[in-house]
Structure 1
Amino acid sequence: MKVDQVITSRRLLLTVGGASLLCACSRAGIRVSRAPAPLASPTADGAGASDASSEEDGQGSAGPSAAADGTSPAQTATPDAAGAVPPADTPQTPGEADSMVHAGPKTVALTFDDGPNPIDTPRVLEILREHGVIATFFMIGMNVKRYPDTVRAVLAQGHRIANHTWSHPDLGTLSKDGVRNELERTSDLIAETCGHRPVLFRAPGGFFTQNSYEVCAEMGLRPVLWDVDPEDWSDPGPDTIVQRVLSSIRTGSIVLNHDGALTDGLITAPGSDGDRSQTVDALRSYLPQLIDAGYRFTVPDGG
């Protein structure tokens, strides 16, 4: 066989083999998940009726490295030399979640998960009001049902109320109908309590599945992650929370905090299950420092 014929045959074989591989990949099913950026560990505090069930929901799990089921970490924007984050398009198709805001230099977003909490949420509101700062509260539907007056207090102060599922489950264990039930029940109750439906959604632990992205798209919910996680749910101490926030924040950051937890019974006193006093004490310290450093505050959708 001539040399040019050998080369042609090999090229043909490579082309056919590559096409077959691409077809096989396109047919494979992939479970999509977004984990936090560096420093973040997925949180699911209070996800069940006890500390043991919280561990099962992922509290204290390993963080953003890729998992064996095909999950992958979130992509975050990198500030330019002037400190501005490049603009990002609004997600239009399933499989996208925001982990940064894009509202100009030194603009960030504060978010609070797993509330409301009748003890600590009002304390958070007092600090935010004192400094004229707005935030976003990703609320668990069961807690909205338990503490509707606290929900209304958040709304009355002008903060954004968002969907964080009904019962804080691992979305990877649910069918698409199961995911829809978690989101719809919560959105319906928030609408009943506040007069309007939420437009933002955060998956428990930050782990979005393909089903959850599709349901979000169908319900008009915008998926939101975060960029800074001080792991306040683990009660590392207010000083540690403060240090983690101040050392990690940058233009465009979405900061994850927790003002509540899903507990067996009502949260009735400091020190009870769901106590978030360390988060409150840390916020009281780091928020004025951020303001003095020139940071401004928005909500994750820029509204």
Structure 2
Amino acid sequence: MKKDQLLTRRRVLLAGGAALGAAGTAGLFALGTTGGPGPEPSAGGATAAGGGATTPAGGATAPTGGAPVRRLPVTPSTYRLQPLTGYGEARTGPRRPRVRREPLLRLSGRGRTMVLTFDDGPDPRYTPGILDTLREYDVRAMFFVCGEMAADNKDLLARMADEGHVVGNHTWSHPLLTSLTRGRIRSEMESTCDVIEDAYGERPQWFRAPYGAWNRAAFQLGAELGMEPLAWTVDTLDWTTPGTRTIIDRVEYGAAPGVVVLSHDAGGDRSQSVRALRAYLPQLLDDGYHITVPRRQYA
């Protein structure tokens, strides 16, 4: 499926969404302690991860609370995560990778540090505008890409690499993983790892489950492929096209040390998301927030 079809698939799956789970705390990226991300479904024993209280109808989130390839300088305040999955000795040696039971939801540590993340792309209609704004303010972000979108827009992944952003795996076709067999889940993940490596220059170190619907197989397979699971703390719900001002308000209201913000750069009309970023990013910087990306520390 391409571009707008991702939004159609999202809306169909949301119709059968189940109650959302909660999560615990740990690590430099912490496991969240608040409720789920709103309308993202959970099924088949999955953990649907996110942060902040939301209404069942998907109302506004009430929050609680560098780079691969051409590497840019890493500031002292850039946070690092000691790997738990398949890196270093765990990847090539006899040890089996340790597997998380819940996704990471927020950045912990000192300072007013936040992470901006964008899902479902890249889309040549909207991703370049987001990249332009990030470059203007010298900010790095994370992009969780779908393989079928990345395969058609490898130039945008190359640009992300050149400009110091982190690219994560968001599966090939954005399915509900809890409805798939282990073989299908692995195929969705592995094929996306391959296209990211081909276009970006490195295999992804981060994974996000579509719809925030996680299960044991997703955690295990992600770990086997050397990826850490990352969810979010503040959901902009921008995929519902609530209006540029609403998206801005959700980010600014939810801003806090350690917050991971979820937005989208594909899957429908994302012009509101592009405009909102241009407004809230300079405001966050003026408020003293350091917008960063995680750097993995190899074992």
TM-score, normalised with respect to structure 1: 0.71
Query: Structure 2 unaligned runs (5+)?
Result: 23-41, 53-63, 66-79, 85-97
Aligned to 1:279: 273
What amino acid sits opposite 2:138 in the alignment? Answer: G
Equivalent positions of 1:35-50 (< 5 A) are 49=5
Asked whether 1:116 is paired with 2:72, we answer no
Structure number, greater radius of gyration: 1
Report the alpha carbon displacement of residue 58 of structure 1 after superposing the two structures with TM: 2.6
Aligned to 1:53: 9
The partner residue of 1:102 within 103, 108, 117 is 108
SS where residue 117 of structure 2 aligns? strand
Aligned to 2:167: 161
The partner residue of 1:295 within 283, 289, 296 is 289
CA distance in 1, matches of 2:15, 2:182: 23
SS where residue 277 of structure 2 aligns? helix
What amino acid sits opposite 2:196 in the alignment? Answer: I
Residue identity (%): 39
CA distance in 1, matches of 2:18, 2:257: 26
Equivalent positions of 1:74-153 (< 5 A) are 74=49, 91=84, 92-153=98-159
Cα pair 1:97 1:224 within 8 Å, conserved: yes
What amino acid sits opposite 1:99 in the alignment? Answer: L
Residues 34-53 of structure 1 deviation map (CA, whole Å, 9 limit, x = unaligned):
xxxxxxxxxxx989837553
Cα pair 1:224 1:300 within 8 Å, conserved: no
Cα pair 1:141 1:164 within 8 Å, conserved: yes
Residues 194-242 of structure 1 deviation map (CA, whole Å, 9 limit, x = unaligned):
2210100000011111110010111111000000001011100000001
SS where residue 166 of structure 1 aligns? coil
Aligned to 1:218: 224
CA distance in 2, matches of 1:289, 1:163: 29
Equivalent positions of 1:222-261 (< 5 A) are 222-261=228-267
**Structure with the larger helix share:** 1
Cα pair 2:208 2:230 within 8 Å, conserved: yes
The partner residue of 1:175 within 177, 181, 185 is 181
CA distance in 1, matches of 2:151, 2:284: 34
Distance 1:74 1:88, change over 3 A: farther
SS where residue 118 of structure 1 aligns? coil
CA distance in 1, matches of 2:135, 2:104: 26
Report the alpha carbon displacement of residue 95 of structure 1 after superposing the two structures with TM: 1.3
Report the alpha carbon displacement of residue 90 of structure 1 after superposing the two structures with TM: 5.3
TM-score, normalised with respect to structure 2: 0.72
Distance 1:139 1:88, change over 3 A: closer
Distance 1:68 1:182, change over 3 A: closer
Report the alpha carbon displacement of residue 286 of structure 1 after superposing the two structures with TM: 0.6
Distance 1:255 1:206, change over 3 A: same
Residues 110-151 of structure 1 deviation map (CA, whole Å, 9 limit, x = unaligned):
000000011211100111111111000000000011111122
Aligned to 2:60: none
